[in-house]
Amino acid sequence: MSKIADAWDLLGEGLEASNLVTCSRWASKRREMGAPFPGKYGWKYHPWVREILDSQASFNYAMKAAQLGITEVAINRALFVIDRLRRDVLYVLPTALNASDFSKARFNTALALSDYLKRLFTDTDTVNLKRAGANSLYIRGSRGDSNLKSIPVSDLILDEVDEMEQKAYLLALERLSGQVEKHVWAISTPTIPNFGIHKLYQGSTQEHFFFKCPRCNKWTEFLWPDCVEIVGETVHDPRCKESFLKCKECGRKLEHKAKPDFLRDAIWEVTNPAADSESRGFNINQLYSYTVTPGELVVAYHRGMGDEAAAKEFSNSKLGLPFLGEGAQVTDDMIDRCIRNHTTNDPRPEVGGTRLVTLGADQGKLGYISVVEWLIPEYDRDLNAVAIAKLLWFGKFGEEDWGILDELMREWQVLAAVVDADPNINEARRFARRFWGYVWLTRYRKGLTAREMSIAEEDNAPIAQVDRSNWLSCSLGRFKVQPPRIMLPRDISLEYREHLKNVVRTYEKDEFGNPKLTYVSTGPDHYTHSLTYAEIGLPLAAAITENQDITKAY
């Protein structure tokens, strides 16, 4: 009888498997979940996930608030593709540590809770590679090109795109080049506009989750602040918990605990009909969440009043929207305020004159140069704080044209040149040796405070290591104060302007979970860095004119 029973069980499993043709149906039969909603995987408390799970579009982008079940969508897609479609999957996270944690916590937990998945995967010992018969799940961090090379797959999942090196997205896409069937899933909490997931979402169908209001029967969606009655005035006001959801069409109260009922038949609606249907984008916020109360949202909102880092966290993690703080980005208006009557063709400084000029160069396949004169009304320990910058000249050079820097040193009587050390380190070192005492190579390094410099000698060339965020704040801050502390030539190029606007201030969490100021680039930014290197050159040039030891003075 045992053999007959086993045969019937196998037959039953085979019939059941033949019906699991969609990812949502497969997940509801194959996944077992832990807290807070233990048991078979379902979407009662996350009804928006079902259609995302079953999307057949080639490109799928989810710009989402935190803790809304979207990561489980990505995990389900990976497991479904391997089990039912018999295709390899590449799952990319921001760092190798993130990939390792995901492999041990999320993936191994999914296997531990499901007997079926335990049987499916035949080799799980390797952290970044899991085998299920002939198919593989590759789990990689985005940092370092070697992590994403030589992995031919048909399905790519990018988890937390905004925390990745942005070039990793294009490199990862190359892994699908040789495949007839290819699907991309990119999910992330957004950070700033026109960057990462928001940039991808902008070119998609931009779908919102609409439901029928149980009070007025009109189709609507949850939006902040239209759909929240805010009660309480501060973070510590106990009345905040009295806040409630309301329909933006009729203004009547919607019960938080009733969400599983009135969201059950909600649908995704396209808001960008001009987009290609093969690029689907989904946006969902925490107003839909069953586990986050309206009162908690209101407290988070109050926390962001007057605190830019907290306001960013509220917009990104609660609303699923990008955030741009006041003054976080140089604008065209700021640039226009800085334009003066001089041009890049004005007379050059006299040899042996008293003008204080520095040069900054951001190198690569193309190098970008800024030549800056410094007007110092009074000498101070923090020269960068009191000096006025005047951009005299800017330009570009190729990998084979390093000689132009020699000419510029003489033409502009440069007292201090600061050059990006990489990638052409040998050319940079030779340049530094040719102008010993007037040229420093530089690298950005974490761990330094304020505008501190750590100067050392590397292969007979001086290296100044500095904190990236603090020096960018210094150079870009010149555009944001009134009156501006930088003068631009009237023939400033459109390219230079765009590079200045492409560097945006934001916040990231440090290893302790605390917000830390940083800058991200939404496009080419080479002139911005060349200007920042010229800024770094000011105290170095001052040390020459004042005969000071720069490592001690600053």
Sign of CA dihedral 346, 347, 353, 357: positive
Angle subtended by helix axes 526-546 and 468-480, to nearest 10: 100
Look-up of token digits 């998609």: 204
pLDDT beneath 50: ranges in the chain: 1, 6-12, 15, 547-554
Topology of the domain covering 332-553: Nucleotidyltransferase; domain 5 (3.30.420)
Q: How buried is residue 197: exposed, middle or buried, by Cβ count under 10 Å (0-12/13-18/19+)?
A: buried
**Rounded distance, CA 83 to CA 487, Å?**
62
Overall pTM surpassing 0.85 (yes/no): yes
**Beta strand segments in 275-379, E:** 279-284, 356-362, 366-375
- How confident is the model at residue 2, as a pLDDT? 57
Q: Find the length of the chain.
A: 554
**Rounded distance, CA 317 to CA 323, Å?**
10
- How confident is the model at residue 160, as a pLDDT? 93
Alpha-carbon distance values, 92 to 35, 107, 155 (Å): 25, 13, 11
- How confident is the model at residue 293, as a pLDDT? 97
Residue type present at position 86? R
Q: 366-375 and 388-398 as β-strands: parallel, antiparallel, unpaired?
A: antiparallel
Q: Of 3.40.50.150, 3.20.20.70, 3.40.1390.10, 3.40.50.300, which CATH number belongs to 21-318? A: 3.40.50.300
Longest alpha-carbon distance in the chain = 104
Residues 6 or more apart whose Cβ sits within 8 Å of residue 145: 171
- How confident is the model at residue 180, as a pLDDT? 66
* Domain residue extents for the chain: 21-318, 332-553
**Rounded distance, CA 138 to CA 147, Å?**
10
Alpha-carbon distance values, 452 to 127, 449, 468, 484 (Å): 39, 6, 11, 24
Q: 462-466 and 439-444 as β-strands: parallel, antiparallel, unpaired?
A: parallel
- How confident is the model at residue 178, as a pLDDT? 66
- How confident is the model at residue 547, as a pLDDT? 44
- How confident is the model at residue 17, as a pLDDT? 62
Q: What is the pLDDT of residues 328-358, one digit of tens each?
A: 999 999 999 999 999 999 999 998 888 999 9
**Rounded distance, CA 93 to CA 187, Å?**
10
Scanning 232-382, the segments in alpha helix (DSSP H) are 259-262, 294-303, 308-313, 332-338
